[in-house]
Amino acid sequence: MRLKVCSLLVLASLSATAQINKNERKKIKEDTIIQLSEVEAQAIKKKAFTMRRMKDVEGTSILAGKKTEVVLIDQKTANLATNNARQIYSQVVGLNIYDYNDGGLQLGIGGRGLDPNRTANFNTRQNGYDISADVLGYPESYYTPPAEALREVQIIRGAASLQYGTQFGGMINFVFKKPTRGKKFLWNSRQTIGSNNLFTSFNSIEGTVDKFSYYTFYNHKQGDAYRPNSNFNSNNAFGYFNYKFNEKTNLKIEYTYFDYLAQQAGGLTDKMFYENPKFSNRERNWFNVNWNLFNVNLHHKFSEKTQFDLNTFALKAHRKTVGFRDQRVGSPDEGNTVRDLIVGEFNNWGAEARLLSKYDFLGKDNVFLIGGKYYQSRNISQQGPGTKGSDANFNFDHANTPDYKYQSDFVYPNLNLSVFGENIFRVSPKFSVTPGFRFEYINTKAEGNFHFLIKDNAGNVIVDRLKEDNKNFKRSFVLFGLGLSYKPFSSLEMYGNLSQNYRSVTFSDIHTTNPSYLVDPDITDESGFTADLGFRGNLSKSLSYDTNIFALKYNNKIGNYINSEAKSVRTNVGDAVTYGIELFTEIDLLQTFDMSNNSSILSTFINSSFSSSKYISSRIVGVEGKRVQFNPDVNLKTGINLGYRNFLASLQYTYVSKQYTDDTNAEQLVTEDTYGTRGAIPAYGIMDFSASYTYKRYKLEAGVNNLLNNYYFVRRATGYPGPGIIPSDPRTFYVTFGFHIP
């Protein structure tokens, strides 16, 4: 159908140009483009493949020889309303994914033995700029952009540290949709209802007027989750404004607002989980996040070969938690005790400049990149007595509880300066070498005090004083990396990279007091490297593949072990290695069997990761030789996508083998009824189904997540929202109705 429509339109255009003037031709051309987008919207937008790999150079980034994966959101038939990470990232190899059960307000992805909690081991960005709480001091991401607003998600691993930071995980960049050309006003609306009183509303307005373009959205989410005491309510707004001065220069301004309040049902012991995973004995635990992101971007092309990009960004945000956090998960909350309150305020700003230039050397096209980043933050962390009530009250109650045990008040002024550079050397038309470096200067400070309190067995205070704890930790270092790319054929690329990595200690590791876990006061930064070696490409239009082996080496790896008091201790556990093989294949079945047409889609994919790990040395008794936590042997996702005309559907299966949550490899204690913070996470398998139907400007979507209704969990939280096992959602349903005007 596509060829017929295009042929008719081309013939009509050629016939018309012989009879009309220039202005009329322009008008008909615009009308023709609009008609084509309406007639063929489904055939053009929906492709058999839902992933792509990044080019050697995109914008002001060098990506040659790196492990890159790009999720094309518009090509996904998935539960976008709740950011269902299993479906959205189903074709990104090796990712270990947390379920947060909160409508997709937070994202937790790890992989290769990295803790998935709030994606802290990735440099997390939005349209190219940082969005986490503190890039170095507290790299957790409490805000995740809604999938309904995204065009794609870029994930860069391997040597990504050279351009985007020092993290072992690499970089994840959420790329928003851009304003539609040729339209001054376009309104998209999506309304979703689902299980457990889920309701989400997404509305975006966009347009282009001469040199000015804009894209804005408002997203509201609310629901009860499936356990008692688990309701959530969020509001998210975004504004993108772009002015194009000329063909060489444009200025973009962005603002993001995000606020949500969630009640937290608390964690469970193993015995409680297997008796009733819906059970909750915490009704006074609350969590609140407020995020304000600012960005100004200037992009200038000096010539066709040289371009400059300057990103300035800032964050003003807070994270507040209040609740009853007894170490013994099975202990009921009597409701008359003081709640523990933790408040974090994040204030930071930075600027990152990049200059990329293409040049000729010995008759070959090479590419040079140089950049620098300035980052400054002044964050505040306070812990103390909350109120005795059950409401979401985030005010300290020092007056009524002056001798509360867990009290601290710290300011963290941090400074980071970095310079980075890479160069693609074309040794031949088929082979390139890309060396790079990153210089880092980090100055981390802690200024404050904590309450030092000792009571006798009768509860009488015998020691009560404020203890000062000021620290100043300066360090500077250089990271190096190397990428290789060999393309013997258009359908095959062999690539490899090696890059040094570095992860600094976060201030939450040092000063937040938790009855369920301890932090070693001598904890320090970790370092190491990552390496990839693989091959990738496309065979005709029927098959896309990417296969690689990987290795990570950690020095002074930060981890957890269980001490004699059954508490989780966070410290530098030892030196460790993680290694494995990652396999991805996506096949267009209709193309393979020469049955391809413009009305149908039938494709399948297999995404698998097989890995192993061990501690090669450790000062902790019982750790050497043990497996690194959060590192399952098998991580498998497979599925099928099908479509006919305006109907699309996908069925996906996920399997993750057993993994450990501490570095002593404590096994699961099914009869344990005290803590819930120690033990393995059993293997689990999940099936998800989604479908959609489009009619003109209207779209209906529906699906079932966890189709087989398996009861499972992927987390043993040591703090909020636990401590203890956090059960994942059973079978849930959703329905989305969307439309656009005009």
pLDDT digits (tens, 9 = 90+) for 279-336: 999 999 999 999 999 999 999 999 999 999 999 999 999 999 999 988 788 889 988 8
Closest CA to 266 of 229, 308, 221, 215: 229
Question: CA dihedral in degrees (390, 396, 397, 403; nearest 10)?
Answer: 120
Tell me whether residue 538 is exposed, middle or buried, using C-beta atoms within 10 angstroms of its C-beta: 0 to 12, 13 to 18, 19 or more. Answer: middle
Is it true that the peptide bond before 742 is cis, omega within 30 degrees of 0? yes
**Confidence band of 592 (pLDDT split at 50, 70, 90):** confident
Rounded to whole angstroms, the Cα distance separating 336 from 169 reads 43
Q: 609: which 2 tokens?
A: 């990761």
Question: Residue 112: pLDDT above 70?
Answer: yes
Query: Which comes out higher in pLDDT, residue 705 or 326?
Result: 705
Q: Considering the entire predicted model, what is its pTM?
A: 0.91
What pLDDT was estimated at residue 450?
Answer: 80
Rounded to whole angstroms, the Cα distance separating 705 from 86 reads 10
Contact between 114 and 630 (Cβ < 8 Å): yes
Contact between 487 and 428 (Cβ < 8 Å): no
What pLDDT was estimated at residue 6?
Answer: 40
What pLDDT was estimated at residue 457?
Answer: 67
Please identify which residue in the block is written with the tokens 């003037």. Answer: 21
Contact between 226 and 259 (Cβ < 8 Å): no
Condensed to tens digits (0 to 9), the pLDDT of residues 145-201 reads 999 999 999 999 866 568 998 989 999 999 999 998 889 999 999 999 999 999 999
DSSP 729: P
Tell me whether residue 621 is exposed, middle or buried, using C-beta atoms within 10 angstroms of its C-beta: 0 to 12, 13 to 18, 19 or more. Answer: exposed
Rounded to whole angstroms, the Cα distance separating 158 from 550 reads 9
Please identify which residue in the block is written with the tokens 């997390």. Answer: 124
Contact between 267 and 215 (Cβ < 8 Å): no
Question: Residue 108: pLDDT above 70?
Answer: yes
Query: Which comes out higher in pLDDT, residue 356 or 568?
Result: 356
**Confidence band of 10 (pLDDT split at 50, 70, 90):** very low
Question: Residue 22: pLDDT above 60?
Answer: no
Measured over the CA atoms of residue 394, residue 400, residue 404 and residue 410, the dihedral's sign is positive
Q: What is the mean pLDDT of residues 453-459?
A: 66
What pLDDT was estimated at residue 36?
Answer: 32
Q: What is the mean pLDDT of residues 38-42?
A: 37
Most confident of 19-33, 307-321, 675-689: 307-321
Q: What is the mean pLDDT of residues 434-462?
A: 81
Q: What is the mean pLDDT of residues 466-488?
A: 90
Q: Express as a percent the part of the chain with pLDDT over 90.
A: 72
Rg (CA), the chain: 27
- Beta strand ranges found along 210-339 (DSSP E): 212-223, 232-244, 249-263, 286-301, 306-323
DSSP 160: T
What pLDDT was estimated at residue 301?
Answer: 97
Query: What average pLDDT is seen over the chain?
Result: 89
Question: Residue 370: pLDDT above 60?
Answer: yes
Closest CA to 399 of 410, 413, 386, 416: 386
Closest CA to 615 of 630, 604, 626: 626
Question: Residue 9: pLDDT above 50?
Answer: no
How far is residue 352 CA from its own chain's centroid?
Answer: 21
